[in-house]
Structure 1
Amino acid sequence: AALEAARLEASPAAAAIPHHQPRLHSPGVGQPPHLGLELPPLRPVIQQRPPPDPIMMLDSTNDPTSVAGSSSSRPGSPSMPPDLGPPVAESWCCTQMKVTKFTYLWAIHNFSFCREEMGEVLKSSTFSAGPNDKLRWCLRINPKGLDEESKDYLSLYLLLVNCGSRNEVRAKFKFSLLNAKREETKAMESQRAYRFVQGKDWGFKKFIRRDFLVDEANGLLPDDRLTIHCEVSVVGETENLAGQSSAQSVRLPECRLADDLGQLLERGQHADLTLCIGGAELPAHKAVLSARSPVFQAMFQHQMEESRASRVVVEDVDEDTMREVLRYVYSGRAPRLDQMADSLLPAADKYQLDRLKVMCEESLAAALTVENVCDCLVLADLHCAAQLRQRASQFILANASRVAESPGWDQMVRRQPHLVAEAFKALAAQAAPPMGPTPKKRMKLPAS
């Protein structure tokens, strides 16, 4: 069915709508469908299909000029006429458009208690791309719509609070909601970079229907918590890099050090060490292991039995895990990281492979669920994985009621009670409102 035109509305903070007619084109084959729309003068409109996909309304801007989202572009050399032959020298220019991308997560607890009046505003705290970034942003929502037209919807906007020393900022943005499985859903993004000035906001007046949002079957308000995920891409300065190179310039081949060392491991050439794991023997090279692992370096330096016999018996790491550890040691890569992160992390900790250890933490943290978060917290505690421990603790706090019903929680209560105690302390600190001492209540004395 043909998409109807829907209206681009300006929020109260937005300025007058320009009399321009930009066109947003539909994506090509194989891409997810977007709204193709043509904006007539004054107050044009975009409508999506009816719920569960809500009608989206995007605020307008004073300046309709769009900015490409690509980070860089390099024009090709102009073709020469066939009779002139190749040029003596080649001039080139590389244009790079700097784009800073960052994300922000806003969790609104007890969402059902938000004010029901139309036009009421709820704002997040301010945020930025980093500690040194002068641009300050915040999110704002109207839980029951911005006006009479959107009273059955939740309105969502990105607001530029402070633009620092810049007069204006151009940025693209994407909003989505996290469901009970921490998956992004109901995503909507701007189709180009819009112009922000201080105090200006852009967003969607009809982001999502309230009846669809509060329906428990859709899982968008687990434990009465609304979680909004925002991704911002800020367009920075444009730089041109120009140069001229001789036609006889030498072309350097690509560096293949990691590939060559990986082949050295696979072929077992010139190996001077054998790692014995169960019934398997893995050839290796002392020099490579010593350079990459402080544990192996100490083992071979101090004339230990393994160094004299050129054999190392590995007892607490299985064969598949050790093979993947060796691949990382030789090439800096771990192709099976996502499938083996839970077994690779203890091995990385044992052999002091710090980068591999953090890679495992990142992989495990990205795949946290109610079912595995307790196991990940225990693993992080056993192997001093501080970043994974922090992420797992935060996940438990955000999903406390569901995690407490999982088998992993019961097992952690029995085997690692100190972790349970820490979780309770953090949960109590998060839930307790700031307040003074509890007023003393006079006791009722029985009649004499």
Structure 2
Amino acid sequence: MSAGTTNTNLLPIMRNDYSLDSVCCTKRTLQTFSHMWIVENFSSYLQDPEPIICLSSSPFSPVVGASALTQWRLVCYPKGNYGAASNYMSIFLEYIKGERDIKAKAEYSLVNRKCELTEMRKDAQFSVYKCGNTRGFINYVKYDTLTLLENDTLDDDKLKIYVRITIMDDAITEDTKYQEYDDTECINFTTRGLEGLVRDFSQLLLHSPPKMSDIKILARVSPSQNSNGIIEINHHDSNPSKVTFHVHKLILAARSPVFAAMFSNSTLESTTNIIEINDLRSETIQSMLEYIYTGKVNDIKNSTVELYRCADKYQLEDLRLQAEMALMSSISVETSAEILLLADQHHSKELKSRVIQFIVNGNLKAITQTEGWHKYVACIPDLVTEVIQATTHE
């Protein structure tokens, strides 16, 4: 046998003709949940004469799963904790309520004004949290860099802290049915399938021919209307100020209980296959359709107030929650009055509480002098009373 050659007869023979009488599988669940904490007027804590300041978030919990009854909170030292290096902010995760020890790890980030995650720090491995335990980073980020003019971390002097927590459950071994598979084909088909679904439905919304749709939505044209693939400007119709969206009944009904009820009864819309929406701008309707077809909105900050009303009107709960979070992060002296009226009209206690807190926290005089206050709030005595009562409680 010459050098450099291999005798294939000496290689082990790999066979796949074995048989099995039984199979068991050991499983371990990893549950991930997230929370965002907004600290307003953050620079004031850096200017506070107290050498050490401790801030705590409200308690939060996983929405579902075996750990749904546990409670956690974030703890922040804007000017550092004891033992922190000079000019560093400290951040910690505290396990505050639970009946058992939890194996978990956390990933911390700051959300900048562009809604991007920055300053990411994460635990290298899982740790055992006993109730009352606190873990995190003493030297998380240099706080003096947060306030630089060229830095986008602070949005209107608000520090947004985002944490993603992964909980590791105990391993469980159980009998299971045997199913042959090829390791080389072991791909995350669920993720890939969802990505393909979003892509295909986006194409269906943007580029499907009008003849393939079975219903039209008519909306009013906004002064700055820009048409794209899903919009048809009705230049030849009797009303040229209308915009037409070619859509599909089954998709609308599957995503919105309001549309489902509309098409299930003898309504004008189900008979004519035309829905006229006159109380929302066409851009808002376009964003709503993006969400209905793909589960996301590309630019939710474009028309957040009206999109919130739209989501509430058509009972699109996830879209309403996304819009509500965007509204919470956009509260300012100029916008607070309109957001307060919106929260009151749509019975959003959390959003309303957040706006009132902003108003009474040193901004009352400036806000009452804005045009928005006189337009949205001053003419509603009950709202004015609530704000005054909140001021007296401060």
User: Which category of TM-score, normalised to the shorter sequence, fits these structures?
Assistant: 0.5 to 0.7
**AA at the equivalent of 1:133:** L
Q: Does 1:354 align with 2:316?
A: yes
Spell out the pairing of 1:74-153 with structure 2 (5 A cutoff). 84=14, 95-103=27-35, 105=37, 111=45, 116=51, 124=56, 127=59, 129=61, 133-134=69-70, 139=75, 146=82
Query: Is the contact between residue 138 and residue 160 of structure 1 (CA under 8 Å) also seen in structure 2?
Result: no
Provide the rounded CA distance (Å) in 2 between the counterparts of 1:367 and 1:224.
Answer: 11
Pick the aligned partner of 1:412 from 373, 377, 381.
373
Pick the aligned partner of 2:279 from 294, 311, 316.
316
How much has 1:227 moved relative to structure 2?
A: 8.2
Query: Is the contact between residue 375 and residue 408 of structure 1 (CA under 8 Å) also seen in structure 2?
Result: no
Amino-acid identity (%): 16
Q: 1:422 to 1:177 in 2, by over 3 A?
A: farther
Provide the rounded CA distance (Å) in 2 between the counterparts of 1:140 and 1:260.
Answer: 42
Provide the rounded CA distance (Å) in 1 between the counterparts of 2:40 and 2:287.
Answer: 42
Match of 2:170? 237
The normalised TM-score by structure 1 is: 0.51
Provide the rounded CA distance (Å) in 2 between the counterparts of 1:209 and 1:161.
Answer: 27
**RMSD of the alignment, in Å?**
5.7
Provide the rounded CA distance (Å) in 1 between the counterparts of 2:321 and 2:350.
Answer: 15
**AA at the equivalent of 1:294:** V
How much has 1:390 moved relative to structure 2?
A: 2.9
Q: Does 1:193 align with 2:131?
A: no
Which secondary structure state, in structure 2, belongs to the residue aligned with residue 237 of structure 1? coil
Q: 1:319 to 1:229 in 2, by over 3 A?
A: closer
Q: 1:87 to 1:342 in 2, by over 3 A?
A: farther
Provide the rounded CA distance (Å) in 2 between the counterparts of 1:246 and 1:393.
Answer: 55
Bigger radius of gyration: 1
Provide the rounded CA distance (Å) in 1 between the counterparts of 2:72 and 2:377.
Answer: 42
Provide the rounded CA distance (Å) in 2 between the counterparts of 1:407 and 1:126.
Answer: 29
Pick the aligned partner of 1:365 from 321, 327, 330.
327
Provide the rounded CA distance (Å) in 2 between the counterparts of 1:108 and 1:381.
Answer: 22
Provide the rounded CA distance (Å) in 2 between the counterparts of 1:142 and 1:260.
Answer: 45
Match of 1:333? 295
Match of 2:357? 397
Provide the rounded CA distance (Å) in 2 between the counterparts of 1:401 and 1:300.
Answer: 51
Q: Structure 1 or 2: larger helix share?
A: 2
Superposed CA deviations along residues 237-267 of structure 1, whole A, max 9, x for unmatched, are 234576521579xxx9969988579749933
Query: Is the contact between residue 139 and residue 157 of structure 1 (CA under 8 Å) also seen in structure 2?
Result: yes
Match of 1:301? 265
Pick the aligned partner of 1:164 from 99, 109, 117.
99
Provide the rounded CA distance (Å) in 1 between the counterparts of 2:129 and 2:97.
Answer: 10
**AA at the equivalent of 2:279:** D
Q: 1:97 to 1:113 in 2, by over 3 A?
A: same
Query: Is the contact between residue 243 and residue 282 of structure 2 (CA under 8 Å) also seen in structure 1?
Result: yes
Q: Point out where structure 1 has 5 or more consecutive residues left out of the alignment.
A: 1-80, 432-448
How much has 1:300 moved relative to structure 2?
A: 7.6
Superposed CA deviations along residues 361-409 of structure 1, whole A, max 9, x for unmatched, are 3463365242544444444445x2x44x633641562474468647994
Q: 1:421 to 1:96 in 2, by over 3 A?
A: same
Q: 1:420 to 1:160 in 2, by over 3 A?
A: same
Which secondary structure state, in structure 2, belongs to the residue aligned with residue 394 of structure 1? helix
Query: Is the contact between residue 213 and residue 248 of structure 2 (CA under 8 Å) also seen in structure 1?
Result: yes
Provide the rounded CA distance (Å) in 1 between the counterparts of 2:386 and 2:285.
Answer: 34
Superposed CA deviations along residues 77-128 of structure 1, whole A, max 9, x for unmatched, are xxxx996565577979574342444447486998566754xxx895858946
Superposed CA deviations along residues 278-337 of structure 1, whole A, max 9, x for unmatched, are 344444566665664536745883464x565554544334444445545555x3635446
Query: Is the contact between residue 328 and residue 356 of structure 1 (CA under 8 Å) also seen in structure 2?
Result: no
How much has 1:202 moved relative to structure 2?
A: 3.7
Query: Is the contact between residue 113 and residue 155 of structure 2 (CA under 8 Å) also seen in structure 1?
Result: yes
**AA at the equivalent of 1:268:** P
**AA at the equivalent of 2:126:** A
Query: Is the contact between residue 213 and residue 220 of structure 1 (CA under 8 Å) also seen in structure 2?
Result: no
**AA at the equivalent of 1:266:** S
Which secondary structure state, in structure 2, belongs to the residue aligned with residue 245 of structure 1? coil
**AA at the equivalent of 1:237:** D
| Residues paired across the two proteins, number | 335
Superposed CA deviations along residues 152-205 of structure 1, whole A, max 9, x for unmatched, are 766665555666343xx4433455678999998766443333344466544445
Q: 1:145 to 1:296 in 2, by over 3 A?
A: closer
Match of 1:52? none
Pick the aligned partner of 1:422 from 372, 386, 389.
386
Provide the rounded CA distance (Å) in 2 between the counterparts of 1:233 and 1:275.
Answer: 43
Provide the rounded CA distance (Å) in 1 between the counterparts of 2:16 and 2:266.
Answer: 62
How much has 1:272 moved relative to structure 2?
A: 5.2
Query: Is the contact between residue 172 and residue 190 of structure 1 (CA under 8 Å) also seen in structure 2?
Result: yes
Superposed CA deviations along residues 36-91 of structure 1, whole A, max 9, x for unmatched, are xxxxxxxxxxxxxxxxxxxxxxxxxxxxxxxxxxxxxxxxxxxxx99656557797
